[in-house]
Amino acid sequence: MRELPAFLLNDAADAAYSFPGDKPAIVCFVKEDCPTCNDVMPVLNALYLAFSDQFDFFIAGQTREGNARLTSTYQPAFPILDESSLKVSFAYDIDTVPTLFVADRTGSMQHSLVGFVRDEWQTLATDLATAHSLTAPDLDWSALPEWRPGCGSLSVDPLIAEKLRAEAENSPLRARRIEIASQDDEFEFMFDQGFSDGLPLVPPTPERVIRMLSGTARDPQEVVAVMPPNMGEATVEKIAINAVMAGCRPEYLPVIIAAVEAVCTDEYNIHGVMATTMGASPVMVVNGPIRERIGMNMKLGALGQGNRANATIGRGLRLVIRNIGGARPGGTERSTLGNPMKFSMCFAEWEERNPWSPLHVERGFEATDSVVTIFTMTSGPTLIVDQDSRTAAQLAGSFGLGLESAFHPKAHYATEVLLVVCPEHVDTLVRDNYSKADIRARIQEVTARPIRELVENPTSAVGFKKATAEGMDAAALDKRLPKFKSADDIHLVVAGADAGKFSGAFHGWATGEIGSISVSRKIEEVA
């Protein structure tokens, strides 16, 4: 027979009742707003009056206010025990109230009833009276309904059940819990503790973290990465906690996990990214089927506000870097001006509007893979406004002229860019059969400048130093340098609304081994 879990509950006067006790027991779970529970209250009272000499009774009500109303309405001879925590209901796996158990003195279940079927309750009462040589309850059974289905237990309410699961013995949660005083404001508390990026956070309660963890099949205690600068262990659970605070949904969690893996590589160099005074920040581009499944924005306003997935996924990564890695302004984060992208910058590529290979395919993944790519950018999106060019050569030339401002017009070979091409501009390029390689080549062509024009001068000291230029002959000074050291430093994606000839550019940081190299990671979704 099933062993019923032991428990200790108090009545309204705070007297304690412990199961199992010295006698066989009748345990019943009720709640006041359930009509069936109200129907069985007189039955429970009759059973108590008939059997209480030989049985302990534990009638557990699921709300304190409801218990008081049941007591006032029915004046039962037994106390109604406070089960408002619902922990016992959860342990007993109560799905429906009323549910009644009969147990022997060791706590082993002998009978159970769910809901109210008159014949079943009457048979049980008769059998107990016979088995224990007791008088059957004085009750007019014919006056009772033949059948009532009962109501859902509060312990199976989705939000409550997740909280109870988080508090159960086998909870997947292991992170340190912080208790706050009952009169503390939880939102202000999180600000005071330094968890926030300056905006309000969603409190990461156990039930919310449990719900977030449902977005991945990975073990909550798996260490995804070690996050600089404090070298904190970014477990799946701790990433989920920060995703909750950021306002994410569970289905976003795999994207953030993949992003954490990406930024914690040596190539990406997240410590350098966050510590530089230049204000560099991660920029996330998502590709593949997951874009549609989680409702990311790749069209109208894709780089701005208004989409939960875009905004909170980027913010979730940033909070992980802050709260697990310890990168905080005033500490290791020393940005001179700061950067609004440090709150969040995440968007999806509109692959269906892209006539070329989408970003993740360009980087070696299958078209059916879901992938996140992390770039390091210092500013953007800066608009490149061209509503007049009618040829691909003109438009790509405009891109080049617009991109000359990256870092500084005289700073060549200094950085990389992420160019977000809007659909109307795509159409202009496609009419002349321009490929991505053609766009990059045209940008390099129109931005090429003789070295002599890039030497420091009275207008600006940026560029080649005079001492270097003085050692060069005329042919060397006439050599033309494109803006970017390699065409591969020009990254191209498609996003934005169908209307409007406004493409955008993100300007990069130091590239290569001395700075940050963009990294892509496949997103592992729940099957």
CATH classification at residue 73? 3.40.30.10
Q: Examine the domain organization and report whether 436 and 300 are in the same domain.
A: yes
Q: Examine the domain organization and report whether 367 and 275 are in the same domain.
A: yes
428 within 8 A of 516, measured Cβ to Cβ? no
**Residue 466 forms part of a structural domain:** no
Q: Examine the domain organization and report whether 113 and 200 are in the same domain.
A: no
425 within 8 A of 503, measured Cβ to Cβ? yes
**Residue 508 forms part of a structural domain:** yes
Looking at the predicted structure, is the pLDDT value of residue 1 above 70? no
Q: What is the mean pLDDT of the chain?
A: 95
Looking at the predicted structure, is the pLDDT value of residue 294 above 90? yes
- Segment 282-294 shows an average pLDDT of 98
Distance, CA of 111 to CA of 20 (rounded, Å): 15
Distance, CA of 345 to CA of 314 (rounded, Å): 5
Within 415-487, where are the H helices? Answer: 423-431, 436-447, 466-470, 474-478
Q: Examine the domain organization and report whether 151 and 193 are in the same domain.
A: no
So what's the pLDDT on residue 24? 97
Looking at the predicted structure, is the pLDDT value of residue 170 above 70? no
Model confidence at 365, pLDDT cuts 50, 70, 90, reads very high
Exposed/middle/buried for residue 336 (C-beta within 10 Å: 0-12, 13-18, 19+): exposed
Model confidence at 481, pLDDT cuts 50, 70, 90, reads very high
Distance, CA of 130 to CA of 139 (rounded, Å): 16
Count of CB atoms within 10 A of residue 68's CB? 14
At which residue do the structure tokens 């700075």 appear?
515
Q: Examine the domain organization and report whether 365 and 416 are in the same domain.
A: yes
Among 69, 117, 99, 84, smallest CA distance to 4 is for 99
**Residue 291 forms part of a structural domain:** yes
- β strands within 392-495, DSSP E: 417-421, 449-450, 480-481, 490-494
So what's the pLDDT on residue 169? 57
**Residue 234 forms part of a structural domain:** yes
Q: Examine the domain organization and report whether 389 and 515 are in the same domain.
A: yes
Exposed/middle/buried for residue 149 (C-beta within 10 Å: 0-12, 13-18, 19+): exposed
How many domains is the chain built from?
Answer: 2
Question: What is the distance, to the nearest Å, from the Cα of residue 58 to the centroid of all Cα atoms in its chain?
Answer: 41
Distances from the Cα of 231 to the Cα of 100, 225, 260, 409, 516, angstroms: 53, 9, 13, 38, 18
Model confidence at 2, pLDDT cuts 50, 70, 90, reads confident
Buried b / exposed e along 373-396 (16+ C-beta atoms within 10 A): bbbbbbbbbeebebeebeebeebb
**Residue 26 forms part of a structural domain:** yes
Q: Examine the domain organization and report whether 142 and 259 are in the same domain.
A: no
Domain around 298: 186-448+483-522
Q: Which residues contact 86 (CB under 8 A, 6 or more apart)?
A: 62, 153, 154, 155, 160, 164
Q: Examine the domain organization and report whether 151 and 261 are in the same domain.
A: no
At which residue do the structure tokens 């913010």 appear?
315
Q: Examine the domain organization and report whether 380 and 273 are in the same domain.
A: yes
235 within 8 A of 220, measured Cβ to Cβ? yes
Q: Residue 197 has what DSSP assignment?
A: S
* Paired tokens of 316: 């979730």
**Residue 181 forms part of a structural domain:** no
* Paired tokens of 505: 């550019």
**Residue 491 forms part of a structural domain:** yes
Q: Tens digit of pLDDT for each residue in 10-54? A: 999 999 999 999 999 999 999 999 999 999 999 999 999 999 999
- Segment 426-446 shows an average pLDDT of 98
Domain end, chosen from 156, 176, 200, is at: 156
Distance, CA of 421 to CA of 436 (rounded, Å): 11
Q: Examine the domain organization and report whether 142 and 252 are in the same domain.
A: no
So what's the pLDDT on residue 513? 87
Q: Examine the domain organization and report whether 213 and 270 are in the same domain.
A: yes
Q: Tens digit of pLDDT for each residue in 134-151? A: 999 989 999 999 999 999
So what's the pLDDT on residue 164? 81
- Percent of the chain whose predicted confidence (pLDDT) is above 90: 91
Per 3-state DSSP, what percentage of the chain is helix, strand, and coil (rounded to 5)?
A: 35, 20, 45
Q: Examine the domain organization and report whether 64 and 137 are in the same domain.
A: yes
So what's the pLDDT on residue 279? 94
So what's the pLDDT on residue 50? 96
**Residue 326 forms part of a structural domain:** yes
